[in-house]
């Protein structure tokens, strides 16, 4: 069922007697079990104030529509939302509600924050069919701010978002990337960490072992970008022999493919997403075995392509972070669970939140935790 407005959404949830599979553009393979409930019909930009750097949209609004409106005012979604369609071989249209529900954040997260850090307010329907409004349109309005953050990354398990307000940022004048060639994974993590700790405002740090490149992005005014790239070269010359500079066009093309994990498009095997401490990344890659991988967030994010049905969590063992299945068949997802098992304390807290917001257990049951 596709609802056309918030009132219809609330009525649908209030009348529901069976689980609901909440979805927007249905592009990420994260819809839970139950009767389909689509918010794609809740679409449109409600308010856009370029001078205040804020926008209010309905949850089913396509991301492309938002980006086009922002581009007309030379602004952007600075957290670089990822488009998973190529990786997952899917179709559909990514929506703003889906982006925030899954807290989808790209390479620039290490510099500007995640999607949830830009979310100012949200309207959503809870499991009783009630409409909840939380937050506001300006950052200083912190009423219920934690609840707004709670909805981001809940994957539609606590409520169905109907409208969101968020902060946007000005577009940068230009960018360039410094490519360090031939570094092994340990050297690459050291180089990325050193670059991120420098005063040169690096907005992206990735390592692609297949291409033999470690890439560092710098953005801003042209003169500033040129100066900072030169300083990075001087800072890192002892770590890397050959270094080249990617122009704005080549840099933009690289980071688009890095954002969308294009290296694993059209390939066989399961794809896992590992979030960890950057300093732990080399050891985790070695524990994963012969898996193909790419790194982002200066090593804090590892994308791994495993043989079908592999239990990556068993290979990695205990570590400070989590491993999520992004691409696999339904049997593998059911056997291992899409999301990393929660600690007992977190599991109790999560169950309490679901009982409070979704007492009938309607929303995407079993997606983030086992049913029952």
In tens, the pLDDT along 6-26 reads: 999 999 999 998 999 888 877
The burial of 72, by beta-carbon neighbours within 10 Å (0-12 exposed, 13-18 middle, 19 or more buried), is given as exposed
Residue 105, pLDDT score: 96
The answer, yes or no, to whether residue 142 has pLDDT greater than 70, is no
| Neighbouring residues of 261: CB distance < 8 A, sequence distance ≥ 6 | 82, 84, 86, 87, 271, 294, 303
pTM here is 0.92
Report the CATH number at residue 91.
3.30.465.10
Residue 223: per-residue pLDDT: 98
CATH code, 232:
3.30.70.100
Is 337 within a domain? no
Out of 220-224, 272-276, 336-340, pick the least confident.
336-340
The reported pLDDT for the residue numbered 90 is 80
CB 23, CB 93: distance < 8 Å: no
Query: Are the beta carbons of 45 and 61 closer than 8 angstroms?
Result: yes
- Let me know: does 254 contact 208? Beta carbons within 8 Å: no
Whole-number Å distance between alpha carbons of 217 and 151:
31
Q: In terms of residue numbers, what domain contains 246?
A: 174-259
Residue 137 has pLDDT above 80, yes or no: no
- Are the C-beta atoms of residues 343 and 316 closer than 8 Å to each other? no
Mean pLDDT of 21-49: 84
User: What band does 141 get if pLDDT is binned at 50, 70 and 90?
Assistant: very low
Are 116 and 144 part of one and the same domain?
A: yes
Q: How many domains does the structure of the chain reveal?
A: 3
Domain end point (choices 170, 190, 216): 170
What whole-number distance in Å separates Cα of residue 106 and Cα of residue 143?
Answer: 28
Distance in Å from the first CA to the final CA of the chain: 25
Compute the average pLDDT of residues 60-86: 96
Q: pLDDT band at residue 203, thresholds of 50, 70 and 90?
A: very high
Beta bridge partners of 217: 177, 204
Q: Do 201 and 63 share a structural domain?
A: no
């Amino acid at each position: 069922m596709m609802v056309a407005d918030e009132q219809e959404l609330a009525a649908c949830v209030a009348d529901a007697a069976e689980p609901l599979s909440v979805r927007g553009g249905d592009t990420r393979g994260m819809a839970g079990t139950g009767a389909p409930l689509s918010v794609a019909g809740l679409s449109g930009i409600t308010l856009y104030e370029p001078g205040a750097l804020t926008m209010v949209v309905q949850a089913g609004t396509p991301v492309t529509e938002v980006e086009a409106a922002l581009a007309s005012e030379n602004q952007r979604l600075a957290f670089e939302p990822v488009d998973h369609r190529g990786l997952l071989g899917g179709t559909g249209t990514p929506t703003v509600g889906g982006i925030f529900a899954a807290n989808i954040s790209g390479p620039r997260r290490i510099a500007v924050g995640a999607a949830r850090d830009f979310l100012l307010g949200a309207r959503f329907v809870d499991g009783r069919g009630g409409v909840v409004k939380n937050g506001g349109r300006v950052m200083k309005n912190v009423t219920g701010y934690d609840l707004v953050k709670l909805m981001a990354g809940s994957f539609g398990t606590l409520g169905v978002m109907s409208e969101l307000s968020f902060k946007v940022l000005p577009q940068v004048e230009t960018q360039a990337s410094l490519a360090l060639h031939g570094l092994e994974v340990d050297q690459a993590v050291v180089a990325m960490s050193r670059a991120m700790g420098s005063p040169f405002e690096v907005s992206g740090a990735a390592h692609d072992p297949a291409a033999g490149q470690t890439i560092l992005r710098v953005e801003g005014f042209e003169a500033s970008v040129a100066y900072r790239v030169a300083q990075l070269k001087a800072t890192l010359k002892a770590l890397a022999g050959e270094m080249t500079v990617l122009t704005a066009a080549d840099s933009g093309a690289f980071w688009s493919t890095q954002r969308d994990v294009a290296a694993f498009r059209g390939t066989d095997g399961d794809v896992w997403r590992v979030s960890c401490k950057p300093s732990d990344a080399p050891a985790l890659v070695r524990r994963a075995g012969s898996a193909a991988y790419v790194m982002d967030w200066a090593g804090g994010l590892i994308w791994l392509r495993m043989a079908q049905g592999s239990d990556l969590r068993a290979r990695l063992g205990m570590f400070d972070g989590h491993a999520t299945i992004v691409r696999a068949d339904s049997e593998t997802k059911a056997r291992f669970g899409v999301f990393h098992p929660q600690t007992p304390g977190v599991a109790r807290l999560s169950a309490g939140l679901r009982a409070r917001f979704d007492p009938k257990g309607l929303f995407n049951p079993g997606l983030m935790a086992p049913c029952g």
